[in-house]
Structure 1
Amino acid sequence: MLRVRDIMTTSVVTISGSATVADAVKVMKEKGLRALIVEPRSDRDPYGIVTETDVIYKVAAYGNDPKKMRVFEIMTKPCITMQPNLGVEYAARLFANTRTRRAPVIEGKLLGIVSVSDILRKSDVAEEQVQLFLEDRIDAAREDAREICAAKGKTSPECAAAWDIVEELQAAASHKRQSKVTPNNSLQEYCAANPDAPECRIYED
């Protein structure tokens, strides 16, 4: 079984909680990142994380000034963390249960960062039987598409194929939301109790 250490990204960009949100956004743009790990203030202080979603939902959506707000005001702390020896299947389950998409990898010190996208790109999902929320798969596929289009060009076949995957996942999610179990009608209930009745043969294979 693959473990978190096998798929994590070891080059981690961190930021101080006292930095302004504007500083965080600048670093995200320069590094092409969607999240930054927030440095602990001391050995006993936990790690935090600030994401682009935090910036949009907690700053931009309310018209707050990112040059005046500090990272510690919008970050998540303590954040979900993972150990390097954790199996990928369990990492996926932790992401699913907590509805998070990335987490720092820590064993005494910060070793790296792992995301839903890492699980999809760097592990054999089918072989490992990793179960992810469909919404998380869509987000990871969308992130991959953006990276591919940036590298290959927006009009490249690779870019088009990447966005086709996103559309397929979105269609699957839409179908799943619309699918509902049809309750048994009275005849089906009758046949369940009386399987040998002649009128129930229409339900036989």
Structure 2
Amino acid sequence: MNVREIMTTQVVCISDEANLKDAHSLMKSRNVRHLPVISEQDSRLVGILTHKKMVSTVMSLVTKYGSDALDRKERAQTVATIMDKDYQHLTADEPLSIVVEYFIENKLGCLPVIDASGHVQGIVTSSDFVKLCAKLLKL
């Protein structure tokens, strides 16, 4: 099996120029924990914003400025300033045997799937592997 067989293709992405408030709202409304961040200029993947990183940043803002200033501070901070720029990615043809080992060894929650030009094709999450396990257990 390869990545293409389990990846989610309807990926919720966010622009690197969006603000933290936009990301917070998008994660909540779309019920996602990982947002591939794409360049406003060429739509290529430039980073990953995780729910964990976003919550950490929000908590830091609340601690530093208070809850009354949170909305204003979230709007003032761009996704590009907090996204993970040092991320791993996949191609759709990579074998799942390699990917699952990477997930286990690095304790990641997601890996974006990109094409040769760096555009997002999909995303593989730990939930995708749980769904695969459930499917295989029913066989």
Q: Structures share a fold, TM > 0.5? A: yes
Q: Deviations over 1:16-56 (max 9, x none)?
A: 1111100011111111111111003556x653110111111
**Partner Cα distance (1:47, 1:98) in 2:** 20
Q: Does 1:102 align with 2:110?
A: yes
Q: Deviations over 1:116-146 (max 9, x none)?
A: 110121247989xxxxxxxxxxxxxxxxxxx
Structure 2, unmatched stretches of 5+, are: 66-72
Q: What is the 5 A alignment of 1:1-205? A: 2-41=1-40, 46-63=45-62, 65-108=73-116, 109-123=119-133
Aligned-pair Cα RMSD in Å: 2.4
Q: Deviations over 1:145-164 (max 9, x none)?
A: xxxxxxxxxxxxxxxxxxxx
**Partner Cα distance (2:6, 2:56) in 1:** 29
Structure 1, unmatched stretches of 5+, are: 128-205
**Partner Cα distance (1:124, 1:89) in 2:** 17
RCO (CA 8 Å, sep 6+): is it higher in 1 or 2? 2
Asked if structure 1 preserves the Cα contact closer than 8 Å seen for 2:113 and 2:124, the reply is yes
**Partner Cα distance (2:32, 2:22) in 1:** 13
Asked if structure 1 preserves the Cα contact closer than 8 Å seen for 2:2 and 2:93, the reply is yes
Asked if structure 1 preserves the Cα contact closer than 8 Å seen for 2:89 and 2:112, the reply is yes
Q: Given residue 72 of structure 1, which amino acid in structure 2 is its aligned partner?
A: A
**Partner Cα distance (2:36, 2:54) in 1:** 14
TM-score (norm: length of structure 2) = 0.78
The 1:47–1:35 alpha-carbon spacing in structure 2 relative to 1, beyond 3 Å, is: same
Give the aligned length.
126
Higher strand share: 2
**Identical residues among aligned pairs (%):** 29
Q: Given residue 66 of structure 1, which amino acid in structure 2 is its aligned partner?
A: E
The 1:75–1:91 alpha-carbon spacing in structure 2 relative to 1, beyond 3 Å, is: same
TM-score (norm: length of structure 1) = 0.55
Q: Given residue 18 of structure 2, which amino acid in structure 1 is its aligned partner?
A: A
